Structure 1
Amino acid sequence: MPSLDIFRGDAFHMDTLSHTVNQMPRLETKLAAMNLFAQNGIRTTEMWIERQQGDLSLVQTRPRGAPSQQMRGDDRDALKFKVPHASLESTIYPDEVQDVRRFGSDNEMQSVQEVVNARMTKMRRHIDATTEHMRVGALKGQIRDADGSIIHDLHDEFATSPTKASFQFSDPAAKIRQSCLGVSRTIEDELGEEGHSGITAICGPMFFDALIDHPDVREAYARWQDGEALRNDPRAGFQFAGIEFVEYRAKTNGKNYLDPDDCLAFPRGTSLFIERYAPADWIGATNTIGAPVYARMAVDPEFERWAKVHVQSNPLPLAVRPSIVTHIEMA
């Protein structure tokens, strides 16, 4: 049986090392950085969302002393959601460490623990990318798996319709500012009594470029750049007409989480975006509060010929009122 000695070769042995390059793919986690989704662990692999629906109506006046208008209680229901399970395993063999120098050094040997830590770090990045992909899906209204299949269709499960808007970038005379105000008003109408701390829109690069190049926006963007260029990248948050537009370029294996010409606008500071974590599928984690990520290592019990690394997460990000997210299309 051939050896799984993937690191054999002169390049990995002791020698003069002139330069090191750690080529890690770009990991986009802007939604995680925004803390948009309130995170908590749960003790079960399923979660329930309880809804209470009440309508606001005017009260008809009556003569004093007449019977009062009767008011009924609010309708309540509960929806059940299965929490997805994502896990990775990797086996490390002695030949991957034996006679191999430490990365970036020409006179130190690599330790098994270093290989384990590096492998876990790489696996954690895959898990983080997976969770971020689910967050974008929650904003879109469809949480999809890696193969494109639908895990949860939020509009179907919450019985809502997608909220859409269109920006007429093809028309130089279009009033984009008015379109932005329309998006804000739509979101606030969908929120009802729920307050918010601001509205953000994540945009694919094509949408973002069309936005800042439109005549109605160009001057405002130039002014924004004058002040912002000294501090940050304006693509990280350009304020226009009450909306913060953020360029969003997350992708995995060449597949975009958000299409280049898409834009999703949503309110911040609400209780309507949640992220729940179920326990790991280990005996010791049964019925405990779920953690964002679990990791452990198992060693060959007979001859210590291998060490197996396991990393998993059981996340479910949800927009519990999917209609508060407005999908803005280019036109």
Structure 2
Amino acid sequence: MIQTVLGRIESAQLGRTSTNEHLLADSRHLRRPLRDGRWWDGEVTPQNLGDLRWNWLASADNLHLDSADVTVEELALARADGLRTVVEATSIGMGPDPAGLPDISRRSGVHVVAAFGSYIDKTLPESWKQHSDDEMRAIFSRALAESIPGTDVRAGLLGLMGTSAEITLAEERALRAAASAATDAGCAVSIRLDAAARRGPEVAALLTSEGLDPRRILFCNIDKVMDAAYVHDIVDTGAVVEFAFGSENSFGDGARDATDDQRIAFLLALCETRPEARITMSSSVWTKGQLSRHGGMGYGHVVRRVVPVLERAGVPAGRLERMLVTEPADLLDLG
């Protein structure tokens, strides 16, 4: 059984699934100035989308997914393309609003599985860092067994757990607490790895040292570091790796997303060299500019555009089914 925000469903009901999305989120504290040092408060419009793509963190408006109505419309578009389930991975530090998720799921017709976790250290409130290890573990356990704090919504997994290039004490404590709680609950943990480091195997070892089955570990946005040897090392731990498609933006001088062509080529090579690799996919929408209404690829990008490319490249239907349906279901199934 899989825990959604509207209750438990059978694994067979899951369908094509995106394992890392954000439906309501607030990352405005991550805003950065333009490349010339000026601050820009512009809204996301077709007229300034070029400027925004040149520095994706420049607009506070871009970093705030604040409309349930818009999210419903965007998910309905994705559902028409064949997407059936999303994992909502907005964690503490990213402005989560889990109480709004049941209404969004009902109105859009898309299953929503809520993750609950804590993001990278610099985004975390001091109140979270001041919890003891036992308190963190208890909060995670209650989110899975009863409800996410302040809501009636139960989490279906823990995440998105944040890690910095140098894993901080607060991050390590949260990782250990989440792994312990997830082990008891038989659920998965999703992880954000910093692209400036190569800590995937280290994080997997940390989580498994707390008893977590490596098959319950999901490393999201693995395409941020397209280093074959490194990704092979992660895959060989038994963990799941996720490719996130659709964002091809700059984050200031010298920092830029990969292109989808590069991601697809890397994914195809991984399937060839590691045919048993456990892989999922997402669009990892976390900003307004990624929404269809603003010229972005939207939540349905993978099923609408990426999958046909993979089919034309010769990826067998069974392999695509594994990435889109089977692996997500196995990851999220609570038994």
More strand by share: 1
Query: Do the structures match in fold with TM over 0.5?
Result: no
TM norm structure 1 = 0.23
In our comparison, the structure showing a higher alpha carbon Rg is 1
TM norm structure 2 = 0.23
More helix by share: 2
